[in-house]
Each structure stands twice: as structure tokens, then as C-alpha cells.
Amino acid sequence: MKSLSGMRVGILIVVVLTFAASAIFSYQRQSEIRNHLELVQKSGAWSVSELEGELLKFTQVLELSGLGQRSQEQLTLRFDLLWSRLDTLRIGIETHAIRQQPGAVELFVELSQLLQKNENAVFALEPGDKPEADRLLNAFVAVQPKVRELNVNSFYDPYRMGLSEGGTPPPVSLSLSMLGLLLSGAALVLLVIRESARNRQQALHDDLTGLPNRKYFNALLQRTEADVANRGNRCGVLVIDLDNFKDINDTFGHAAGDQLLREVSQRLRSSLYDDAIVARLGGDEFAVLLQSSDDLSKCIEQVNRLCQRIGQAVEIGEERISVSASIGVSIYPDDGVSIRQVMGNADLAMYLAKRQEGVSFRIYDAEMSTQRLRRRELARQLRQAIVKDQLLLNFQPLVQLSSGKIESLEALLRWHHADYGYISPLEVVSIAEQYDLALVLNEWVIDQVCRQISLWQQSGLPGVKVAVNISPSMYSKHDLVGTVSRFIEQHGIDARQLCIEVTEDTTMRDIDSSPGILKALRKLGVELALDDFGTGYSSLSHLKQLPVHKLKIDKSFVQDLNTEPKDLRFIRTILNLAASMKLTVVAEGIESVQNLDDLRQAGCPIGQGYLFSRPVDAVAMEQLLLDQQAGRLLQGGDEMAANIDRLGCVTVYPTTG
Ligand code: C2E
Ligand code: MG
Ligand code: MG
């Protein structure tokens, strides 16, 4: 690419230089011609002028001879000079132009005949012979006005003199320079036209894939809106976003990412009807305009084909990369009053497809907009709820599987909305992320947890450690370390009583600064846990760089133990990996005694789950902690059913050992 554009610049420079050289050369030639013409004109004109002068002098001498005041020699001298002036004008290249003047040649012939005819009479004239002198004088004075006129014209009318014919330099060199000028000028114009066409193409197309870009696509949508209104038909808009493209980019490198995007764009083009237009909106986001989508089933057929084609593994170098996409489909004019609105709806449908596991495309329906409105309304109210302290924290114990002792607690967010009821923390967090509330929400949680730790400490409970979940943008966009240290200090708690939980995916968001953030937190003295471990896309090399203390195996792996045949391999692998990295392991989602037995058998040290306790509020949790202080441990076991629900939750109090 670089060398190509270097070549283009080189060609442009050569053309410009040729043009400039031709222009200078032509200018010089023109100046030469002009000088030459002027010279020719002047010398010719001067010859006529000299002729007129000589004629005047001759007539004067003639007149004086008649009066006897000039000698015969003086007269013949002037006569000879007059002859010679005339000869200069009748022959020779310098006076060629003069002869081109209308009537000039005739005048010269007339003059030479006059001289010839009177030559003998002039030579024979006796000084004082006035009658003969007057006759001669009259003959010569008669031509004087014609000579005068020729003289004047020679000075003032060079073009009538036809100078170009006789006075131009060799015509070949002039036309060559003009040809050079014309050719280089034409080349320059062509280059400018080509460059501007290329610029136009670049302004409307994406460099990497050659597909139309967002600007072009938007213009196309506008045009299509008008067409659809005229024809009264429908068109479909697809918004396509690749799943986990960032992870692929981070893992395999940007060159592989680029190649993948090129391959995907090819596949998009080849799996759609000919009149479909595919555009790249930016990053890993594409859009498609299906120009005639009167038949929805055909539209879905294309989308299905598209998903299938994208899902086929891509070979990049030695790697086989699997990729999937989330697609949103919306139809104009069925789904919106303007095509822009339809595009927004396709985007919303895509967003929902992405959030729903195992779903590759969604077709927009009005309910989605209702959902969006709901989220927007919830976001507005969440902001107020945070300010007014209307959120709650529940706490769930993490239990040492060997002893039943509470190892630590996890704080979990709860929001009971007056109109919408219970809103899951996952939804609260996703709304906060979407509506720029992550900082205030995370600050609120960290503040509350630190306050609670301090309160429990003041009430004489043994120092219990509490884990806080951190949302992705708090980690990647805001000053997490500063916020944590500020609240630790503000509530005067021991940093070791706080644990920060981040998911594997969150650490992947900012892969370069992740180790630094975690190190700084570790330096504060807080514990670090990698949450939902096993569900993300991080590689072992990434994991090795993260200075965490704990791995929390995602509950889906524990739930997998409930199927037959039971597969403990994943959990054993994690335990081995953790042992080699000197990390401790927590198994989430322990719901049954069977789960507990399996995990104990596999050697898992810590567990969390409904079997021990559901998340409960601070008051109930305080009671649990007091119970533990009194020696009643959360071991799970056969007696658990008997102890259910004293605290309004499935909390198990096995007899102490
Ligand atoms: P998580 O951090 O993995 O939390 C554990 C989730 O598993 C909690 O769901 C908990 O109630 C649930 N759980 C515990 N034991 C069991 C069990 O035996 N079976 C089943 N099926 N589930 C169990 P919850 O409270 O709904 O929270 C869901 C997720 O929301 C959390 O997953 C965490 O990622 C996020 N979250 C919760 N609170 C906060 C918060 O304060 N801040 C942030 N950023 N995220 C939070
Ligand atoms: Mg957690
Ligand atoms: Mg978890």
C-alpha cells in the first residue's frame, strides 16, 4: 500500500515537473519568438523609414540642384543611396514581412521603374536647370505619400505584415513544446480526476474490506426510503455484530482480526441475494440492506444462511478460528415510520440477540421497544434509588468445605422496585453500564460493604471478610484503586477484610492494564478473586499474569455435576491449575449434598451455594455469624431440612462436630 502511494506521488511529481518544464520552455520560446518578431518588424520598418528619408533627401537635393545650389555629385550620391535603400526592401529575409504588406511590392516595382526611367535624366541634370529639375521633382514627389503610408503601417500594423510566415523560428520545435505541454497538462488533469475519484471511493468505502461504509450506507438508506414510498413495497435492514471479536483480536493479533473481518465480509456478500447491499459500519459491526423484502420468510432464509456461513471456522495461518455473530432484523415500513428508526430497531434486536445465549438473530418486535423504554425508565429511577439509598445488599457465605466454617461473605445487590418488583442484580448492573451509572453504583456498593464490615466489627463480631463484585466499566474506565482505598480509609477497616471480585471477562477488557490494576489493589492489602471462572475467554498466559488469590468456579460447572455421567474432570483440572499457581478455589452454586460430596472428594477447599445459605440481608447474616461464633457451623448434610428457614432462607445448621 505504502509503496503504491509512493509510486503515485512519484508519477505526480514527474508529471508536474514535465508540465512545469514544458511551460518554462514554451514561455522561453514564446519570448524568443516575440523578440524575434519585434526585431524583424523593427528592422523591416526601419528600412521603409530609411527609404522614405532617402526619398525626402533626394527630392530636397533635386530642388536645390534646380536652383544651382547643389552639385551634380551630390545629386547622383543621393540617387544611388535611394537605389540601395530600395534594393534592401525588394530582397532579403529581414524585409520579407514588409513585402507582405498589401501594395508594398507594387510600390517597390513602381519606385524602381521610376528610378530606372529617370536615371539618365538625373545623371544628365545640369545644376541650375530648373524646368528639368522641377519635372523630375514632380515625378518623385508623386510617390512620396505612398511611401509615407507604407512606413506608418510598418510600425503600427505588424500582424497585417504577416510576420508569422517569414519570421517564425523553425515550426517543428514550437509544436513539440506545445505537444509536451498539452500531453503533460492532459496527464495532470487525468491524474486529478483519478485521484478525486479515488478519494470519493475512499470517503464512502471501508479500506479493509472494500465494503460501503457507514456514511454511504446512511445515504443509501435515505434513498431507499424514498424508493419504498414510491413503489409501495418493503425493505429489510440487518445489523450484524461479531461475537467476542475483541477477544479474538487480543488472542490471535490484529492481523488475524483483519483477515477474519475480510473473510466475514466475503461470506456476507456471497450468502445474500444479488440486490442486497452489505456495509461495514465500523469495528466488527456490519449492516445489510435487503432491498426487496416483501416476503419475510425469504428474508429469514437469507439470515439463516448468513448465520450458517459465518459460523464455519476460518483458517488463518495455522489457526482455525470459530466465530459467530448476533444479528438484528427489522423491516421498513412495518417496524418504523422512518428507515432510521428501523435501523435503530434492528440495532436493538441485535443487542438483545447478543445478550441471549445461544441466539444468533432476533427479528424486531414492538415488545423490544417497550423493553427498551422500561430499561430507560429503570435507569432514571436507579439513579434516584442510589442517591436515596433505596438499594440493598444481601450477603451469602463462602464456606470451608472441610470444616463448615464461614470463610468469607459475598455482598450481592438487591433492588425491589415499587412498580417493577425485584430486578435482578445482573439487570441492574447492565443498566448501570449502559446508562453511565457504573461509577455511582459501584461506589455505593463499596461504601456500603466497608460500612457493614466496620459495623460488624463494632458489634464485636470476629473480623469477617466481605467480597464486592465490580462491574466492567468501573474496572476499565474509572479509578477503582483510588475508590477502594478511599472507602477503606473512610470507614477505618482493615484492607484484608475486603475482597474484590472481577470476572475473567472484565479483566480481558483491559488486557494490558489489568495486571497493573490488580497489583495496585493487592498492594492495598485487599484480596482478589476471579469470578465466574471457566466461562470467559481468557488464555492461560493471561491468567498467569493476574495476581489474584482466588478462583471462583462458575456455578454452571457445579450444576453439570448433576447430569449423568458425572464429569469432574473440569473441576479437577482447575484445582490442579490453582494448586500450581498457589491459588485457592471456590465452587459456586452448591445446591445439593451430592454436589458437596463430589466437590469435597475432588479436594475443593471452599464452596458457596443455597445448600449452605441463600443470600440474606445484613441482620440475618449477623445472626449466622453469631451462630457460627456459638459453634454452629454451615456444613450441609442430612439434618439440613430440619433447620430450614429460621431466617427466611434455606440455611442449614448441621449439628456441630
Ligand atoms: P456472582 O458474583 O457469581 O454471584 C453469585 C450468584 O449466584 C448470585 O446471584 C447468587 O445469588 C447466586 N447463587 C449463589 N448460590 C447459588 C446456588 O446454589 N444456586 C444458584 N442457582 N445460584 C446461586 P445474584 O445475586 O442473582 O447475582 C448475580 C450476579 O450479579 C452476580 O454473580 C454478580 O455477577 C452480579 N452482582 C450481584 N451483586 C452485584 C454488585 O453489587 N455489583 C456488581 N457489579 N455485580 C453484582
Ligand atoms: Mg461474585
Ligand atoms: Mg460468580
Q: What is the pLDDT of residue 637?
A: 44
pLDDT at 175: 67
pLDDT tens digits, 429-457: 999 999 999 999 999 999 999 999 999 99
What is the β-pairing status of strands 606-607 and 498-503?
Answer: unpaired
What pLDDT score was predicted for residue 438?
96
Name which residue sits closest to atom 42 of ligand 1, judged by CA. 469
Ligand closest in space to the Cα of 529: 2
Angle of helix 438-458 relative to helix 425-434, nearest 10 degrees?
Answer: 130
How far apart CA 304 and CA 395 sit, in angstroms, is: 44
**C-alpha–C-alpha distance, residues 575 and 600, integer Å:** 12
For residues 404-413, average pLDDT? 96
Question: For residue 529, how far is its CA from the centre of ligand 2 (angstroms)?
Answer: 8
Residue 426 CA, closest ligand 1 atom number: 30
User: What pLDDT band is residue 650 in, cutting at 50, 70 and 90?
Assistant: very low
Condensed to tens digits (0 to 9), the pLDDT of residues 470-487 reads 999 999 899 999 999 999
Instruction: Tell me if the pTM is above 0.85.
Output: no
Confirm or reject: Cβ of 427 under 6 Å from ligand 1.
no
506 Cβ closer than 6 Å to some ligand 1 atom:
no
Q: Which of 392, 444, 446, 469 to mutate to test the pocket of ligand 1 (most atoms within 8 A of CB)?
A: 469
pLDDT digit string, tens, across residues 4-62: 556 766 777 777 777 777 777 777 877 787 776 677 667 777 888 888 888 888 888 88
Spatial separation of the C-alpha atoms in residues 433 and 474, rounded to whole Å: 9
- Per-residue pLDDT band for 636 (boundaries 50, 70, 90) equals low
Give the best-scoring range by mean pLDDT among 38-47, 362-371, 648-657.
Answer: 362-371
> Among 12-26, 208-222, 348-362, 450-464, where is mean pLDDT lowest?
12-26
- Listed range (34-43, 228-237, 391-400, 524-533) with the worst mean pLDDT: 34-43
Overall average pLDDT of the 179-193 stretch: 82
Give 469 Cα–ligand 2 centroid separation in angstroms: 5
Residue type, 194: R
Residue 386 CB less than 6 A away from ligand 1: no
Average pLDDT, integer, range 62-72: 86
Amino acid type, 274: D
Confidence of residue 210 (pLDDT cuts 50, 70, 90): very high
Average pLDDT over residues 341-363: 91
Separation in Å, CA 281 to CA 225, 263, 578: 19, 16, 42
Tell me which of 23-27, 173-177, 263-267, 430-434 is least confident.
Answer: 173-177
Residue scoring higher pLDDT (338 or 536): 338
Mean per-residue pLDDT of the chain = 86
Minimum-distance ligand 1 atom for the alpha carbon of 474? 44
636 lines ligand 1 (CB under 6 A): no
Q: Which of 256, 244, 266 is nearest to 325 (CA)?
A: 244
- Counting atoms of ligand 1 from 1, which one is nearest the CA of 471? 44
CB atoms within 10 A of CB 349: 25
For residue 171, pLDDT beyond 70: no
How many residues are present in the chain? 657
Query: 467, 410 in Cβ contact below 8 A?
Result: yes
- pLDDT per residue over 274-315, tens digit each? 889 999 999 999 999 998 777 788 888 899 999 999 999 998
